[in-house]
């Protein structure tokens, strides 16, 4: 249970720190990893998709991570964005970033956001991941984008339960081959 919580939180809770960047934009970067259910190892999720959309479901940018699972891009200040990580081979996971109150400064901010991805058997229930696994908001007192801990705590149990069930189904499917 504690390991699952660590994996879920560790995958999304990375601190935002000021770095030189255009103040009208903020930099989002990180690494996508693929959890291997059989042995618990993690591999770089090379060429995995990330789609960034607005509340109107307009796609702002879509791209693939590089061969090491790394990605980096800039987003304009003043919007709410939903990042969807995954692709046809993965359970898609979403993160919401509320940049409406982000300050425009000479130095922009950055958000390091690593994402743990995994596969699931075709008939597995992945509905828990239709909602964001994390939300980030601008905290003026820190001058950073920070995780919305209340949202994460309210939803963590559902994500953990879904992951445990998917893990069991994946291991059962692998042993039946």
pTM of the model: 0.84
Q: What does the pLDDT look like over 45-72, one tens digit per residue?
A: 888 999 999 999 999 999 999 999 999 9
Q: What is the DSSP string of 51-82?
A: EEE-TT--EEEEEE--TTSEEEEEEESS-EEE
Please tell me the predicted confidence (pLDDT) of residue 104: 77
Tokens of 92: 């898609």
User: What CATH code is carried by the domain that includes residue 139?
Assistant: 2.60.40.10
Q: Which helix (H) or strand (E) holds 2?
A: helix 2-12
Number of domains observed in the structure of the chain: 1
CA distance 56 to 24: 21
Does residue 174 lie in a domain region?
Answer: no
């Amino acid at each position: 249970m504690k390991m699952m919580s660590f994996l879920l939180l560790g995958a999304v809770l990375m601190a935002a720190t000021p770095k030189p960047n255009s103040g009208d934009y903020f930099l989002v970067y990180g690494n996508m990893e693929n959890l291997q259910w059989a042995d618990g190892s993690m591999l770089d999720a090379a060429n995995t998709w990330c789609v960034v959309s607005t509340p109107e479901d307009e796609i702002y940018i879509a791209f693939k991570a590089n061969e090491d699972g790394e990605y980096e891009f800039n987003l304009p200040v003043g919007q709410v964005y939903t990042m969807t990580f995954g692709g046809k081979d993965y359970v898609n996971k979403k993160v919401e970033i509320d940049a409406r109150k982000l300050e425009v400064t000479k130095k922009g901010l950055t958000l390091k956001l690593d994402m743990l991805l995994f596969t699931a058997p075709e008939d597995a229930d992945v509905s828990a991941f239709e909602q964001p696994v994390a939300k980030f908001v601008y905290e003026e007192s820190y001058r950073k984008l920070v995780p919305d801990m209340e949202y994460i705590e309210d939803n963590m149990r559902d994500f953990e339960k879904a992951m445990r069930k998917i893990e069991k189904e994946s291991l059962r499917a692998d042993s039946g081959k």
